[in-house]
A = this chain, B = another copy of it.
């Protein structure tokens, strides 16, 4: 659940203010979404609470749903970073599995459920979430190709990226339907095991 708001070595006034405003908008959005629901929360509400004009909201986010989407926008890069640190002598699918498990262990399960719940209330948001998974899939595929550049591996690596992101997606789905009985990483590990046994 990382947005692009965290660190900043040597940042000037401008960068600091931007970061702060971004954080204020995000917090205002999440709070109001949880309070009155996604659809019932207008951009006027969010802007007022964040202390900015409605017009200026669009200088920070392209659309209302980006507030929620930004919460998981960092995941793609995090997985890629973790993947780069895996040994090369592993089979690709196992390397990705280990990387994904490391990254997902960071996110608190209850927070994931809350955000997921929120996204399910609006079909467009839900759809964009799936689309962002597809983007992460593409990012992951690029990283896999860097690590295993042999051309005859390309199709296989594309499938690996697809399966890995699919495993994550189905794990969040199970998490939602189980309501938190099993830990996220356990479900995820089970999915990867099923993948290996299947194909």
Contact = CB atoms under 8 A, between A and B. Distances in A.
Interface of A: 92-93, 123-124, 126-128, 130-131, 133-134, 155-156, 158-160, 162-163, 166-167, 169-170, 190-191, 194-199
A148 to B, nearest CB: 12
B156 A197 contact: yes
Contacts of A159: 163, 166-167, 170, 191, 194-195, 198
A130 B158 CA distance: 17
Give this chain's copy count: 2
A127 B126 CA distance: 9
Nearest to A196: B199
A162 B158 contact: no
Contact of A170 (B133, B158, B190): B158
